[in-house]
Amino acid sequence: MLGTDVCEFGGQLLELMWLTVCYRGIMADKETDKPIGEEEDETDLNYQPPAQKSLKEIQELDKDDESLTKYKQALLGSGPVVADPTVPNVQVTRLTLMCDQAPGPITMDLTGDLEALKKANFTMKEGVDYRVKIHFKVNREIVSGLKYVHLTYRNRLRVDKAVYMVGSYGPRVEEHEFLTPLEEAPKGMLVRGCYHIKSHFTDDDKTDHLSWEWNLHIKKDWDE
């Protein structure tokens, strides 16, 4: 009788393990279908950003204080760069993988066809040090709490998520630049291959300034 009970218990345990594996697979497939904007950490849900003031409202504050007015003008500029309301306030123009060991620039133009970029492949040698540089413009109003969300997938499963706090910026003619901290590309036979990247540029208000997708191949060498 004891042997029969043990066999029944073993069968139930195997069935439970199988159901667990199936559940994880189903949830992983669901996760890959989420829009990038829904990939935010749950810890962000209780955060309430401060009330946003327009550029004009800030410029009107304490306008009788000459030194403060000069400081605000130096910090914020004289006014909106682009008056056309149909032009986005924030425009992300390009992303570059900065690597001293790369044979050439690894840059993607974000002002063109993002669907074509989704099929593009970029190559990086395993184990190299790199940074991500993002170029963007702010045209009319101050934008606060900008951040870059970088989601990495392999075989439809998310293997990494990075959130970079970019900061708050005012309008100006020149592009702004943001450079991430130095990181090391993965290395080893098991991590070589193709990774699908979902990139998302947002802010405290969860505004989707730009979302795009691209592919990164980790190889043993640059020209492999």
Integer Cα distance of 11 and 5 in angstroms:
10
Q: Could you report the per-residue pLDDT of 22-43, keeping only the tens digit for each?
A: 444 444 444 444 555 555 554 4
Q: Could you report the per-residue pLDDT of 96-113, keeping only the tens digit for each?
A: 999 999 998 899 999 999
Q: How far is CA 37 from CA 33, 52, 101, 212, in A?
A: 11, 21, 33, 12
What's the pLDDT band for 77 if we cut at 50, 70, 90?
low
Integer Cα distance of 77 and 54 in angstroms:
13
Choice between 68 and 142, residue whose per-residue pLDDT is larger: 142
Integer Cα distance of 31 and 82 in angstroms:
38
Q: Specify whether the CB–CB gap between 92 and 210 falls below 8 A.
A: yes
Q: Residue range 167-187: average pLDDT?
A: 94
Per-residue three-class SS string for 123-184: EEECCCEEEEEEEEEECCCCEEEEEEEEEEEECCEEEEEEEEEEEEECCCCCCEEEECCCEE
Please count the residues of the chain.
224
Q: Specify whether the CB–CB gap between 40 and 204 falls below 8 A.
A: no
Chain-centroid distance, C-alpha 221: 26
Q: State the chain's mean pLDDT as an integer.
A: 78
* 191, pLDDT greater than 80: yes
